[in-house]
Chains A and B, each alone.
Chain A
Amino acid sequence: MLGPPNRRRRPRFTIIVMMLLSITVLTLDSKDVPILGSIRRGVMSALNPVGRAFSSVTSPVRNAWNGIGNNDDMEKENTRLRDELDALKNQQLTNTDAVDQLARLKEQLGVPFLATIATEKAKVTSGNFSSFDDDTAQIDKGSSSGLEVGMPVVTQAGLIGSIERVSADRSVVRLITDPSISVGIKLKSDDLGVGRGTGAGRPWVIDRGIGLTDPVAVGDPVITSGLERAKYPPGLPVGTITSVTRDQGEQIQILDVALAADLTRLDYVQVLLWKPPA
């Protein structure tokens, strides 16, 4: 036997209201309503110490869980070795061509060397709060350290992404593996193109701007072009070409790129205190 009609309608009324509320929040967020941004920054700031505290308290158990063992020295050694490996990769790319290209870019475009750009070192925090955030990373520095939305983030090996959101002492980095992020690139031959990610764990591709006649070879370095209105300064190593596919229909070459930086094992990163030109 069913109850009074109003009792039957109540859950339906509630779900409609809740759905409308959710859609309203989504709409307001898509319009970048300032109050939502402030609330988000406030929540990030409030949760940062919570995450740090839990991370610290659970550190021994976490290490055991991760199969790394609870030996801090081993962890530090791993970090040091990874940094060295990244530096070597960077050096390899640099030796190939990047220094010449950077010098020429400076002459041609009047842009500074990367060495002249101030940086802020940051640690990638223990991890994301959910599993669908592979294309983002959280770092332990924020606006109090001078970080702003849009600033590029690199490791010693090369570009990894840019700052998407900032609170006082925490920031979210959108990695270049995200398909929505395009990066203007320059090849060894000085040809310009646009690359993008296809998701974490998938190839990074250059699928715009490289014509069929442009000279391209596997192993060639890829750096940021830094052309006018670019989101990244010129000369940042992106990676090396691993395969070339000729698309006769579009009359272009599609290049797969192995990223210089290992995005699956980020420990420390450097934020370039550089803003894209307005």
Chain B
Amino acid sequence: MTDWMMVVRWTAVVITTTLFQVGIAPQFPLFGVVADVMLLVSIAAGVAAGPQRGAIIGFWLGLFYDLMRPGPLGISALAYTLTAFAVGSLLVAVLTVRRTLAALVVFVASMLGTLLFATTSELFGQNTLGSPRLWTIVFVVAFINMILSVVAVPIGRWAEGAGAIESRSGVLSGASTLGGGGLDG
């Protein structure tokens, strides 16, 4: 049965993230690199909600991002979907995601997600892998996202609500075996 409150919360998170990406992130570039909070929240969704919901949230965030930026529509959607799914799948068997682990996961996943976006963009005729700033972008995005994960992962957990643990343990025998406080943000 659909938890409509959860849908409302995730919708609010997606809209707020989009506004943040449009309004705030471009104003404060670090070394000329704009923070990719859309990717960050996609990863946070994977951490907090597991592979299935993470993939869905990643898809919508990526699609909204694609609508805002030049270039082919659907590339971010594909890259963020796969990144969120991979993160969710990786953590599905982990009972407790502590802050340090979450930050590390966000750092690595941000690097891989950015590279995946760059690779997919290149395949669709964009000049991304050849950009002289590629590695600067990859590392700075990963660094900013790692810092912001302190906020983003708890937001993902809030949006997921009581279902957070159940979602993550979807492939395990049951949520009850995990106990409370599984996402020790």
B85 at the interface (CB under 8 A from A): yes
The reply to whether B133 and A201 form a contact with Cβ atoms under 8 Å apart is: yes
Residues 166 to 218 of chain A near chain B (Cβ within 8 Å): 172, 174, 178-180, 198-202
CB nearest to A63 among chain B residues: B27
The reply to whether A7 and B170 form a contact with Cβ atoms under 8 Å apart is: yes
Stretch of A53-61, A79-87, A92-100, A269-277 at the chain-chain interface: A53-61
Cβ contacts under 8 Å, A47 to chain B:
22, 68
Distance A26 CA – B63 CA, assembled complex (angstroms) = 10
B70 to chain A: closest CB distance in Å? 5
Known: A11-B88, A25-B77. 12 other contacts (CB 8 A): A1-B173, A11-B52, A11-B171, A14-B56, A25-B74, A26-B74, A47-B22, A51-B22, A128-B26, A131-B34, A136-B70, A172-B70
Stretch of B98-106, B117-125, B147-155 at the chain-chain interface: B117-125
A141 at the interface (CB under 8 A from B): no
The reply to whether B52 and A131 form a contact with Cβ atoms under 8 Å apart is: no
The reply to whether B173 and A131 form a contact with Cβ atoms under 8 Å apart is: no
A114 at the interface (CB under 8 A from B): no
The reply to whether B127 and A135 form a contact with Cβ atoms under 8 Å apart is: yes
B30 to chain A: closest CB distance in Å? 9
CB nearest to B170 among chain A residues: A7
7 A-B contact pairs sorted by A residue (CB < 8 Å): A11-B52, A14-B52, A19-B81, A25-B73, A25-B74, A29-B72, A58-B24
Residues 59 to 96 of chain B near chain A (Cβ within 8 Å): 59, 62-75, 77-78, 81-82, 85, 88-89
Instruction: Given A25-B74, A47-B68, A132-B118, verify A15-B22 contact (CB < 8 Å).
Output: no
Instruction: Given A25-B73, A54-B27, A58-B27, verify A201-B59 contact (CB < 8 Å).
Output: no
A43 at the interface (CB under 8 A from B): yes
Distance A81 CA – B97 CA, assembled complex (angstroms) = 53
B179 at the interface (CB under 8 A from A): no
